[in-house]
A and B are shown apart, each in its own frame.
Chain A
């Protein structure tokens, strides 16, 4: 239903994305596309796929940002998909009830049979997580791979979202963020995981782990700032130390 579930279970399934190690490889984005093309929200239609303006439906997109400049500058790769917010307006603005947040696990989904394609939910999502499929005239979005994570025909260990399973650096974690004892919650606590645009008040479930401080200052590994030659100046030319080194 369009109204947010009134008695939400404590379960809040979502993703934790580690910006410290994401290399921006797009594997999560393409694998998401691949899985979901034939999944519950498929197809992820591509318009003009071989022409000048290819434009496809993707549930996950990877951006790259430069942050800061010079010595303090860095590049951060930034995957972006639905955050399965706890209090998202994308659900409440929906006039048809097509957009809904599941009471059991907090996954935000679109019921395509109800959707009229008014696009209002995409306007209401600050994060750009809604994808309009103009071919069929309905809104689509990240399903948190609801058809994988509960799929009984899958090996237990494969019951994770496609993007998580495929991420080569393991920058993506999946779990119950409503449970403070879950691995993902602990990770968030340890690493200072944060919300995107908290000022929106949407209470995103997905969390991002910040890049760790860079380690380029002297002493960062415990090493001295530079090596010093052995106290005694080389007696026998450049290699004097070696002689001593070997005879000592």
Chain B
């Protein structure tokens, strides 16, 4: 009792609020925060953040706080389902798991023996890519990818090819020390809580300035010290102008460039030659520099020149890479005055931001008195930081010029000398890795053999045309055309093209589309209506579906469930083992490496099974080599927990890095430990190890870090990661397009490759904007993540759907006034691809050329076990109906609506016009017919009294 002496009614303060507390990892989104689940009388009393967890340090976001409602959702599936009616009719019958696995084994077994490529296995919000990707290669199909291709591969690829790390969730600003934080196009991101914790710290500290570059002033932009309401797709121009200013004034960190980047490397300048644009290398293949003192070309990095033209001993000319960058960025086209109109940011503002960046980097240098040793063995008595940090995400990524824009941002960071220095942007282990990491995609004809595993991983990082997955004619060999000339550096595959290509038989027909955790009949498809048609389209001759089999794993009655033939119901995140592996999307931060697990805290009350268990059992039934012992018996009879502990990629390397070794005393590398999962559970379900202080910065070139990382098994060799200001990899593709080398693009792709595989960053107008008339479609249309909703799956959540149960199209009031549109008016939004009818909402804090809405609020009527009156289907809408998956026809050929380098889906290139519509039915359009309800879902309660029974005074 509290020490209270008044007559006020007492409140019990000494009864525990729960019987039991179990630690695990949140999965209300992909951010992987640590949670403590309080259980009482067999139910969930409360879920709170784990204070000791490196990701969230005790906080939980709105979604994480609503986990209870996700777990008890009436939309949860109950048992495996087999389609009995037509696809999309929602007519299913419940079957047993044995039947389900027998059916799946039948379909998949057949194609594995004939042509394993006929399986396309694509995973959405998956956090088990280390398992699913491996499973696909054991099956033998190259047609595997996760959601990165429609999500943020531009960021991942630009980062990996440029700095061997990335924004996304692979790096973070040095929140404590930064003096200037520049954020491009972020509404929420995967580091949702870390970013918020960081921003809170940064703003409260009061010594940093936070600038948000974003067409919309909500969320993070709302608390920025300065908001730059940029016109979508023009960030590259802004960054070029900033670089222009810095170069013009000589405000760059030449020492950093010389030590850590390839800026001083000499580039051959022999237009037309087969090696034009490649680095000058010695016999050992080492890049050459131009030594200031001797005037000689050599390997030394002592005092190389960054500019000038040198004649090589063989008579050819070469220039330092930096000179090429400077020439490009100093061009008058990139002067602030020239980009002001396109970007919508006044020239004076751009000049001021450049001055502020330079001031923060060079006048506010931070010094940590921490000695360290660089990879050459040179000792430094302190760590000097340029406290300018940056972060960028889908505002950059989801444009067809995103790869180059992201590269430009990384180069701006290099010029300021701030990458992985105190106060700058910091890598999170296992990054940095070599730029790019040395994993090549497999999938060429010789690598795909029926009945055998794929000779390698299905996705990776090509470093030249010879790494592409194409045939002799240069045609794509993967169903999504990743790693083809249409998307050469598609490091995450092109999930957004799977349905369309499989339907069109382009480049070939498949048999089974196997999807996991991806709502592709709804919000993760571009052209949602089209995707639905393709999933249900049949071959005229045979009457067969064009995509003959669809297997899908979901935990809830999502829109996609209706389009599957076989539904494998998953558990919720509170009922299964999961693993957040260093192989996948780990939870480390800049000071340490970490991984985590989920443990079941509740037992399923229905006939559902963890998908990973199912996948392992399916693999064993199929006899996949990694999943059976020589005699054919299952290798992991204990299913996923067994796999987590005992599976090794190479000896000593497993899914989890903590408590390895037979005795559990090894970290990173070590023999399997049968008690590993117990150790995780005993340690709050995560493992973390701190980088030694001398290794915490300059990781790309810090000997102590590199050696530590080798010891942890994060990298193979303690070699420095040279930051790629100039990308020779891109130049190799360009040379191929110019007719050099063994592997060259087909004629129709040459110009495109030659243009976009520029070794230096470049800016070009996004494709859709270029392909449409500004008069027809004068506005940009984009979406934002609402902080309190996760894609489509938040709408079944009784609490979250109260916050975002419908959405509006937000328009700048001046733009609306010109069009005679008032608040709440119904308007028609038309793109080159489609039309929707929605309601308008006016605001001030948005770029006047831009309209936007919250993402994925609109729902299909009938889905998610929502009532017939649910507003998500009546006053909610998806922008996806306006977005095409392909660009307009050009000479009989349609490229993906994507970045030409990575294949990243260009969601935010969308251009529209809007007009007021006469009052009609006040329902958003298209109003697709309701999907039939999945059988045997429970009745929706009319009143929800969750928690009543937990009250101390509850009268039973």
Chain A interfacial positions (CB closer than 8 Å to B): 1, 5, 18, 20-27, 29-31, 33-40, 42-56, 58, 64, 66, 69-70, 73-77, 100, 102-105, 109, 111, 135, 146-147, 150-153, 157-158, 162, 165-171, 211, 214-216, 218, 220-230, 238-239, 241-243, 245-247
Q: Given A52-B870, A224-B355, A239-B326, do A171 and B348 touch, yes or no (CB 8 Å)?
A: no
When the two chains form their complex, are residues A147 and B13 in contact, meaning their CB atoms are under 8 A apart? yes
When the two chains form their complex, are residues B946 and A23 in contact, meaning their CB atoms are under 8 A apart? no
When the two chains form their complex, are residues B222 and A23 in contact, meaning their CB atoms are under 8 A apart? yes
Main secondary structure of the interface of A (DSSP, over half): loop
B310 CB to nearest A CB, Å: 13
When the two chains form their complex, are residues A38 and B951 in contact, meaning their CB atoms are under 8 A apart? yes
| Stretch of B2-10, B527-535, B705-713 contacting A (4+ beta carbons < 8 Å) | B2-10
Q: List 17 A-B contacts (CB under 8 A).
A: A23-B223, A27-B65, A29-B803, A37-B946, A40-B952, A43-B948, A48-B943, A50-B867, A50-B941, A52-B871, A69-B844, A153-B17, A169-B199, A220-B209, A221-B359, A223-B355, A226-B245
B867 contact from A18, A52, A211, A238, Cβ within 8 A: A52
When the two chains form their complex, are residues B867 and A21 in contact, meaning their CB atoms are under 8 A apart? no
B866 CB to nearest A CB, Å: 5
When the two chains form their complex, are residues A221 and B942 in contact, meaning their CB atoms are under 8 A apart? no
Q: Does B358 contact A (CB under 8 A)?
A: yes
When the two chains form their complex, are residues A27 and B59 in contact, meaning their CB atoms are under 8 A apart? yes
Q: Given A223-B359, A225-B348, do A54 and B13 touch, yes or no (CB 8 Å)?
A: no
When the two chains form their complex, are residues B222 and A38 in contact, meaning their CB atoms are under 8 A apart? no
When the two chains form their complex, are residues A45 and B943 in contact, meaning their CB atoms are under 8 A apart? yes
Q: Does B801 contact A (CB under 8 A)?
A: yes
A215 to B17, CA, bound (A): 45
Q: Given A25-B61, A51-B870, do A241 and B352 touch, yes or no (CB 8 Å)?
A: no
When the two chains form their complex, are residues A167 and B59 in contact, meaning their CB atoms are under 8 A apart? yes
Q: Given A42-B947, A76-B222, do A31 and B65 touch, yes or no (CB 8 Å)?
A: yes
Q: Given A214-B225, A224-B355, do A151 and B62 touch, yes or no (CB 8 Å)?
A: no
B157 CB to nearest A CB, Å: 29
Residues in A whose Cβ lies below 8 Å from that of B541: none
When the two chains form their complex, are residues B17 and A216 in contact, meaning their CB atoms are under 8 A apart? no
A46 to B800, CA, bound (A): 12
When the two chains form their complex, are residues B943 and A46 in contact, meaning their CB atoms are under 8 A apart? yes
| Stretch of B212-220, B422-430, B726-734, B737-745 contacting A (4+ beta carbons < 8 Å) | B212-220
When the two chains form their complex, are residues B225 and A38 in contact, meaning their CB atoms are under 8 A apart? no
Q: Which residue of B lies closest to A44 (CB)?
A: B947
Q: Does B12 contact A (CB under 8 A)?
A: yes
When the two chains form their complex, are residues A227 and B13 in contact, meaning their CB atoms are under 8 A apart? no
When the two chains form their complex, are residues B326 and A238 in contact, meaning their CB atoms are under 8 A apart? yes
A102 contact from B8, B865, B942, Cβ within 8 A: B8
Within 8 A of A (CB), among B807-860: 843-845
When the two chains form their complex, are residues B307 and A242 in contact, meaning their CB atoms are under 8 A apart? yes
When the two chains form their complex, are residues A227 and B249 in contact, meaning their CB atoms are under 8 A apart? yes
Q: How many B residues, CB 8 Å from partner?
A: 115
Q: Which residue of B lies closest to A103 (CB)?
A: B6
A182 CB to nearest B CB, Å: 17
Q: Does B226 contact A (CB under 8 A)?
A: yes
B384 CB to nearest A CB, Å: 19
A29 to B179, CA, bound (A): 32
A166 to B64, CA, bound (A): 10
A151 contact from B17, B219, B941, B944, Cβ within 8 A: B17
A1 to B6, CA, bound (A): 11
When the two chains form their complex, are residues B250 and A135 in contact, meaning their CB atoms are under 8 A apart? no
When the two chains form their complex, are residues A227 and B944 in contact, meaning their CB atoms are under 8 A apart? no
When the two chains form their complex, are residues B58 and A73 in contact, meaning their CB atoms are under 8 A apart? no
When the two chains form their complex, are residues A216 and B226 in contact, meaning their CB atoms are under 8 A apart? yes
Chain B interfacial positions (CB closer than 8 Å to A): 1-2, 4-9, 11-17, 40, 45-49, 51, 56, 58-66, 68, 74, 179-180, 192-193, 196-197, 199-201, 203-204, 209, 217-223, 225-226, 245-246, 248-251, 254, 292, 303, 305-308, 323, 326-327, 330, 348-349, 351-352, 354-356, 358-360, 363, 787-788, 796, 798-803, 805, 843-845, 865-867, 869-871, 874, 940-948, 950-952
Given contacts A20-B203, A30-B803, A162-B48, could you give 6 more A-B pairs where the C-beta distance is less than 8 Å?
Answer: A21-B203, A26-B787, A27-B64, A42-B947, A169-B223, A246-B254
A105 to B10, CA, bound (A): 13
When the two chains form their complex, are residues A147 and B12 in contact, meaning their CB atoms are under 8 A apart? yes
A43 to B254, CA, bound (A): 63
A86 to B50, CA, bound (A): 35
Among A45, A50, A104, max chain B CB count under 10 A is at A50
Residues in B whose Cβ lies below 8 Å from that of A24: 218-219, 222, 787
Among A30, A46, A48, A146, max chain B CB count under 10 A is at A30
Residues in A whose Cβ lies below 8 Å from that of B14: 151-153
Q: Given A5-B6, A216-B226, A226-B352, do A221 and B209 touch, yes or no (CB 8 Å)?
A: yes
When the two chains form their complex, are residues A168 and B17 in contact, meaning their CB atoms are under 8 A apart? no
B291 CB to nearest A CB, Å: 12
Residues in A whose Cβ lies below 8 Å from that of B64: 27
Q: Which residue of A lies closest to B210 (CB)?
A: A215
When the two chains form their complex, are residues B326 and A53 in contact, meaning their CB atoms are under 8 A apart? no
Q: Which residue of A lies closest to B33 (CB)?
A: A168
B808 CB to nearest A CB, Å: 13
A230 to B12, CA, bound (A): 72
When the two chains form their complex, are residues B352 and A218 in contact, meaning their CB atoms are under 8 A apart? yes
Residues in A whose Cβ lies below 8 Å from that of B871: 52
When the two chains form their complex, are residues A226 and B354 in contact, meaning their CB atoms are under 8 A apart? yes
Q: Given A21-B203, A30-B788, A53-B869, do A243 and B46 touch, yes or no (CB 8 Å)?
A: no
When the two chains form their complex, are residues B948 and A42 in contact, meaning their CB atoms are under 8 A apart? yes
When the two chains form their complex, are residues A169 and B200 in contact, meaning their CB atoms are under 8 A apart? yes
B811 CB to nearest A CB, Å: 13
Q: Which residue of A lies closest to B304 (CB)?
A: A246
B46 CB to nearest A CB, Å: 6
Q: Which residue of A lies closest to B194 (CB)?
A: A168
Residues in A whose Cβ lies below 8 Å from that of B308: 239, 243
A51 to B939, CA, bound (A): 12
Among B40, B246, B796, B941, max chain A CB count under 10 A is at B941
When the two chains form their complex, are residues B946 and A43 in contact, meaning their CB atoms are under 8 A apart? yes
When the two chains form their complex, are residues B9 and A238 in contact, meaning their CB atoms are under 8 A apart? no
Residues in A whose Cβ lies below 8 Å from that of B866: 50-51
When the two chains form their complex, are residues A45 and B326 in contact, meaning their CB atoms are under 8 A apart? no
Q: Given A53-B869, A151-B13, do A169 and B944 touch, yes or no (CB 8 Å)?
A: no
When the two chains form their complex, are residues B944 and A46 in contact, meaning their CB atoms are under 8 A apart? yes
B250 CB to nearest A CB, Å: 5
Residues in B whose Cβ lies below 8 Å from that of A47: 942-944
A18 to B204, CA, bound (A): 10
Q: Which residue of A lies closest to B874 (CB)?
A: A52
Q: Which residue of B lies closest to A167 (CB)?
A: B59
Q: Given A27-B65, A64-B218, A227-B351, do A22 and B58 touch, yes or no (CB 8 Å)?
A: no
Residues in B whose Cβ lies below 8 Å from that of A146: 11
Q: Given A50-B870, A226-B354, do A34 and B945 touch, yes or no (CB 8 Å)?
A: no
Q: Given A24-B219, A46-B943, do A102 and B196 touch, yes or no (CB 8 Å)?
A: no
A224 to B411, CA, bound (A): 23
Among B1, B64, B65, max chain A CB count under 10 A is at B65
B205 CB to nearest A CB, Å: 11
A124 CB to nearest B CB, Å: 20
When the two chains form their complex, are residues A29 and B197 in contact, meaning their CB atoms are under 8 A apart? no
A168 contact from B196, B209, B802, B950, Cβ within 8 A: B196
Residues in A whose Cβ lies below 8 Å from that of B218: 24, 64, 75
A66 CB to nearest B CB, Å: 5
A35 to B248, CA, bound (A): 57
Query: What are the 4 A-B residue pairs with the smallest beta carbon separation, nearest first?
Result: A52-B869, A37-B947, A169-B200, A223-B359
A95 CB to nearest B CB, Å: 18
Residues in B whose Cβ lies below 8 Å from that of A18: 204
Residues in B whose Cβ lies below 8 Å from that of A218: 352
When the two chains form their complex, are residues B363 and A222 in contact, meaning their CB atoms are under 8 A apart? yes
When the two chains form their complex, are residues A166 and B48 in contact, meaning their CB atoms are under 8 A apart? yes
A242 contact from B15, B250, B801, B870, Cβ within 8 A: B250
When the two chains form their complex, are residues B947 and A38 in contact, meaning their CB atoms are under 8 A apart? yes
Residues in B whose Cβ lies below 8 Å from that of A224: 355, 359
